[in-house]
Amino acid sequence: MVRLEVTSALRAEQSRYGLTIARNLADRIADQVVQDEPYQTEAAISASLKSDSDLHYAFVIGMDGKLFAHTFGTGYPVGLTEWNPTGNKEETVQLLATEVGTIRDVGVKVFSGLPAELHLGLKETRITVTQERLRNRIAVGSGIAILGALLFSLLLNRYLARPLNHLIAHGEALIRGEFGKRVGLAGHGELGALAATFDTLSQELASSRQRAQETMRQMLRTEKLSALGQLSAGLAHEIRNPLTSIKILFQSFLESSSPTRKDIEVVLSETERMETLLKQFLAFTHIEEATPQAVDLPEVTHHVLYICRYQMRIQGIEVATELAAMPPVLADRAMIEQVLLNLLMNAVEAMPEGGELHISGGITVDNRVEIRVRDSGGGIPEAIRDKIFDPFFTTKPEGTGLGLSVIHNIVGHFGGTIDFCCDSTGTMFAVSFPVASDMTTKKTGAANEP
Ligand code: ADP
Ligand code: MG
């Protein structure tokens, strides 16, 4: 496009140039044409041909319209005079395709309105050379442009796209919670500064998470320790009472006669109480030794119901079960049995005058397995609702207050939860666990432990 425009401009320039020298030459030879001196005319036009490399030929048509002088030597082209294109015009420019290339024939009248005319043939050498130069320059130019673009895109890639992608990838890692990774884009100007901010942020997130985890672990440790301490103190206190009664009785046996049946019954019941306390207390300490296995909750529930059936019958409790089939949970069967037994016993103890016990279970919306125990025992007073899980909290004269805290401990150990809701008509406790397949993928190590 550029080259075409340049070329046509060059051609117009060459036409103007040709016309100018033709006019000069015509003025110079005018006298010789009038005086009919073809040799001098030929000498003059040959001289200008030599002085200008662009001139290919020159010829003059005389006043009679015939070829008067020319630079073709012996053999001039046939019909040269018929080329005479000027006609009535003062000047003409025409392009001739010849064996030496395109020739620009510039014709001018030697005298205005008379037949004599001078023709110069101009080669397009200069235009070709210029075109060539132009072509080279354009080639070099576009080469440079392409190189520049390449370099630019390389730089863009190196200094912008790549670091940006890098930053984005690190941002995504942060979102995934992969803290502490370094972007490592030092010396990238503003992007480098951004990367450094990213690095700092990532490091801070990593260390603060570590701190939080450490605090959490510590809290759990102290919580556990204090719970155990609390339990031990509670246990010592709880055991002291039956032990004292037994001691007093034995002292009386030493001082007086043999023990009565009533004395023996008291010793037995106090011993049983201590045994129960110890058993429940051990549920806390032995939980770490639990052997998780696939436990079928409905099966364990039926088993526990069977154990309690006698007690429920004499208390006039009606039982309804609604247990859907469910996948097993990964837990210790004996411990789960203890959980369900404690829940059932609490329900039974809440209905001394009889009532309805409703046991249901199935898969929850969030894909957990759940067992619900509902009684019609009048509910839990609001004032004590936040204490019922505390160890040794009890409202029963014969209670240990360990049942719910043991349940809480066991359920939590196997990834489960325990909730309750109640009103004046009764209470419902619900325990839920993740299904065994979910657990195995997360806790394979625990499952394989000996
Ligand atoms: P314990 O049964 O030895 O009292 P738990 O830890 O099992 O100890 O229960 C603590 C307290 O929670 C009970 O004393 C009782 O006040 C209350 N509670 C538990 N379950 C029920 C229930 N189903 N209905 C009413 N109160 C309940
Ligand atoms: Mg209980």
Q: Could you tell me the domains of the chain? A: 2-123 (3.30.450.20), 132-222 (no CATH), 231-287 (1.10.287), 290-450 (3.30.565.10)
pLDDT score, position 415: 92
Rounded CA separation 448/450 (Å):
6
pLDDT score, position 316: 96
Residue 92 corresponds to which tokens in the numbers above? 């003409």
The Å distance, Cα 220 to ligand 1 centre, comes to 25
The Å distance, Cα 273 to ligand 1 centre, comes to 17
Dmax (CA) for the chain in angstroms is 183
* Residue with CA nearest ligand 1 atom 7: 403
The Å distance, Cα 400 to ligand 2 centre, comes to 7
pLDDT score, position 441: 45
Q: Nearest bound ligand to CA 350?
A: 1
Ligand 1 pocket: which residues have CB below 6 Å?
342, 346-347, 350, 375, 377, 380, 388, 393-396, 399-401, 403-405, 427
pLDDT score, position 382: 94
Regions of the chain where pLDDT drops below 70: 1-7, 83-86, 126-128, 130-131, 134, 138, 158, 185-188, 217-228, 230, 257, 285, 438-450
The Å distance, Cα 366 to ligand 2 centre, comes to 29
Rounded CA separation 152/141 (Å):
16
For residue 123, what are the contacts with CB-CB under 8 A and spacing of at least 6? 54, 55, 56, 100, 101, 103, 104
The Å distance, Cα 434 to ligand 1 centre, comes to 26
Task: Indicate the Cα dihedral angle 39, 44, 46, 51, nearest 10°.
Answer: 160
pLDDT digits (tens, 9 = 90+) for 132-190: 776 777 677 777 777 777 777 777 776 777 777 777 777 777 777 777 777 776 666 77
Give yes or no for a contact between 305 and 418, defined as CB atoms under 8 angstroms apart.
no
**Pocket mutation for ligand 1, best pick of 348, 388, 400 (most atoms within 8 Å of C-beta):** 388
Strand partners, 369: 363, 433
